Chains A and B, each alone.
Chain A
Amino acid sequence: MNNESSIWLFLRKMRAPLIVLNIAHALPVILLTIVPGIDAQGNPAHLSFFDAMYIVAYTATTIGFGEIPYPFSYPQRIVVFLTIYATVPAWLYALGSIIALLQDKMFIYALKMNAFRRKVRHLSQDFIIICGYTDAGKLLIDRLTSDNLYRIVVIDKNIEKIESLQSELYMPSIPAIVADASMTDVLKSSGVQSPNCKFIVTLFDDDQLNLKISVRARILNENLEIIARSGVKHGGENLTNIGVNHVIDIFSIIAQRIDFALKSPYLFNLLSWVQGGNLHVSKSDVLPTGKYIVCSRGRFGKTIQNTLDKNGIDYTYLDINKEIHEKVSSDQDFFLEAGILGASCIIAGTNDDAINLSIIATARALNPTIFAIVRENELEERSLFSHLRVDKIFVLDQIAALDGYNYIDRPMTFNFIEGIAHFDKEKLVNTLLSITDKVNKRPGLLEMAINKNTMYALSQFLAHTPVTLGQLLNNPYRDGQDLEIVILGLMRNKGEFILLPDDSTALHDGDHLLFATTKPSLAHFKTIVNHYYELYYVIHDKEEKRFNLPWKRV
């Protein structure tokens, strides 16, 4: 039932108890004023309306102050007697049914929905709707709130998830509602049609559900950017067809990573850094080129197979289904047959973490030096996998969250990866080293635009003085210290992308920059580009003359 009508229904249901209450009070009051009494001096007297109302009020609520303002006559007592038997049950009935109505589930839901709608309506900043507070959703929200470029609205069907979201105490607050995100009026209440709504992200494992939400969102708002996770069974083709702007296809991201790792560990490292890792090539980034064993099934298996075929790797494919499941966990011969002794790498890629664990454990027991790559489906299993010293772990939820985050807060990372994929080995090493030398091994990555809100002084300055990147970053304070910043990419207003712009690149108002940097350096940079006199000094190597002292006439 629609929640508007349940409020009306509530009011209608209130009619009977309220009318009973009204009549049960009115009649005794009138009777009490008519029936004669005797005052303290023994003269006949009538109760005033105020006294009568007072008596009925304390009698009906069973408080019973007694006979006020003077002892009742017998006719009055008869009326009070009737009053007690009429008003007390009426009062209990009315109160009981009103309390019952207030506790009605539909009514409470309607009230919550109204409060949620009001909160969403009052969001004056741009915001993102996230459907599903899953593990991936939580990671995504954590990332987005730390950047704080957009407000967030969350829809989830599961009440426990919404409660756990509310217990996180995010700042700024996140309006959340327990509802089915695939219903049109729920989407409308979450502000899909608002001009401030920039993105909607659906992160459910269920393809059908993501599809339903995306279709409805597209119909409700044409300008909205829709980001949908493609599920286990299908790729993103059907999602793209209905107008989803970005499909988070985890399997092809993993395949791309394996592909990059086979091409060059440096390329792989840059990619996994952009997707949330460290920038440091370790031994586990160098994939062996010997024989592979792939334990998987379905679409993930196919994606991996394609990648290995493309790179000319020899592999054995083990289709792990329900029947083979038993064997995998108990039978070593199964792996021996597949040639585990001669293999150099095993990929455990089923959709069941327990099976993946047992695959790795068995494989390690038979061949201790084998390189193990594992797909992790549930975030909670993390510690188990690291116990086994797995060489590479692909955590599905983490990958999905980071991909969505990259698309929302730093879309230039996609151009960057696309650009460096064509680099030869030497260029890749140089790129990676230039970042790690200048910044550190765990640089932050963020995207910023040059405009009045983010770089106030610079955007004013650019109107009359040309400024190049090198002027801002290299030795800005003339103390021999460069800022620990590497600009990975520059996006012009018209959409032209410059990969790794050099120091002589001129900046324009409206450009977007992709930074690899540390927090202190970023703070320095922000100081420079937001303060006019600071910027003047950095560019001209002298303080701007603000006024002339009279004795220093030029």
Chain B
Amino acid sequence: MNSEKVISGFFIILALTLNFGFVIGDIDVIAYHSVYELVAAIVVNLIATIMKLGDKTQTGSVLLATSFVADLQLIAAASVWGIVNMTSIMTPELFTIVVSLAAGALVANVISVSLFVGETLLLKR
């Protein structure tokens, strides 16, 4: 067992699950989407990104790229939400943007996890 693998695997998968948890539910109903879950998803995604830093391999680079995509989309979602709250009133139309951005991050996270699992399966030890 490789403790580094356990830790990075934990964060990568946690990033996916939190992201999924935030996205699931009707896309325009605020009550179905917890702001804390979005914050947790961002934080865990950032940690997962940092865990992927400094990996020389080809898969490592693609993993890092997917993480960057997820970070970007989640932070964009949070920014939209925050700016709308500061400047006007949240409507279902605007909230759809937030959730769809987070859904995009979910796709990146799915790719990330499948790459991670695939790479692990390829290892013969």
Residues of A within 8 A of B (CB): 5, 8-15, 18-19, 22-23, 26, 29-30, 33, 48-50
B39 touches A30 (CB 8 A): yes
**Alpha-carbon distance between A48 and B86 when the two chains are bound, in angstroms:** 9
> Which residues of B from 39 to 54 have beta carbons under 8 Å from A?
39-40, 43, 46-47, 50-51, 53-54
B86 touches A8 (CB 8 A): no
* Contact of B25 with A by CB under 8 A: no
**Alpha-carbon distance between A10 and B55 when the two chains are bound, in angstroms:** 11
Q: Residue of B at shortest CB range from A27?
A: B43
* Contact of B62 with A by CB under 8 A: no
Q: Residue of A at shortest CB range from B8?
A: A15
A23 touches B53 (CB 8 A): no
A97 to chain B, nearest CB (A): 13
**Contact A11-B54, Cβ < 8 Å, known A26-B39, A48-B85, A50-B86:** yes
B35 touches A22 (CB 8 A): no
**Contact A49-B35, Cβ < 8 Å, known A9-B54, A12-B53, A14-B54:** yes
**Alpha-carbon distance between A23 and B86 when the two chains are bound, in angstroms:** 25
**Alpha-carbon distance between A50 and B39 when the two chains are bound, in angstroms:** 12
List 18 additional contacts besides A19-B51, A50-B85; criterion CB under 8 Å. A5-B56, A8-B55, A11-B53, A12-B54, A13-B54, A15-B51, A15-B53, A18-B50, A19-B50, A22-B46, A26-B39, A29-B39, A30-B36, A30-B39, A33-B36, A48-B85, A49-B35, A49-B39
A15 touches B82 (CB 8 A): no
B101 to chain A, nearest CB (A): 16
* Contact of B69 with A by CB under 8 A: no
Q: Which 3 A-B pairs rank lowest in CB-CB distance, beginning with the nearest?
A: A11-B54, A12-B54, A26-B43
A50 touches B56 (CB 8 A): no
A223 to chain B, nearest CB (A): 33
Residues of B within 8 A of A (CB): 35-36, 39-40, 43, 46-47, 50-51, 53-56, 78, 82, 85-86
* 30 intermolecular pairs with C-beta atoms under 8 Å apart: A5-B56, A8-B54, A8-B55, A9-B54, A10-B54, A11-B53, A11-B54, A12-B53, A13-B54, A14-B53, A18-B50, A18-B53, A19-B47, A19-B50, A19-B51, A22-B43, A22-B46, A23-B43, A26-B43, A29-B39, A30-B39, A30-B40, A33-B36, A48-B82, A48-B86, A49-B35, A49-B39, A49-B78, A50-B85, A50-B86
- Give every chain B residue within 8 A of A50 (Cβ-Cβ): 82, 85-86
**Alpha-carbon distance between A11 and B54 when the two chains are bound, in angstroms:** 5
**Alpha-carbon distance between A30 and B86 when the two chains are bound, in angstroms:** 18
Q: Residue of A at shortest CB range from B39?
A: A30
**Alpha-carbon distance between A29 and B35 when the two chains are bound, in angstroms:** 12
Q: Residue of A at shortest CB range from B81?
A: A49
- Give every chain B residue within 8 A of A12 (Cβ-Cβ): 53-54
- Give every chain B residue within 8 A of A10 (Cβ-Cβ): 54
- Give every chain B residue within 8 A of A30 (Cβ-Cβ): 36, 39-40
- Give every chain B residue within 8 A of A14 (Cβ-Cβ): 50, 53-54
B66 to chain A, nearest CB (A): 17
B35 to chain A, nearest CB (A): 7
**Contact A15-B50, Cβ < 8 Å, known A48-B85, A49-B78:** yes
**Alpha-carbon distance between A10 and B54 when the two chains are bound, in angstroms:** 7
- Give every chain B residue within 8 A of A13 (Cβ-Cβ): 54
- Give every chain A residue within 8 A of B40 (Cβ-Cβ): 30
Contact of B54 among A15, A26, A48 (CB under 8 A): A15
**Contact A8-B47, Cβ < 8 Å, known A26-B39, A30-B36:** no
B76 to chain A, nearest CB (A): 14
B102 to chain A, nearest CB (A): 15
**Alpha-carbon distance between A12 and B53 when the two chains are bound, in angstroms:** 6
Contact of A22 among B50, B85, B86 (CB under 8 A): B50
**Alpha-carbon distance between A261 and B50 when the two chains are bound, in angstroms:** 74
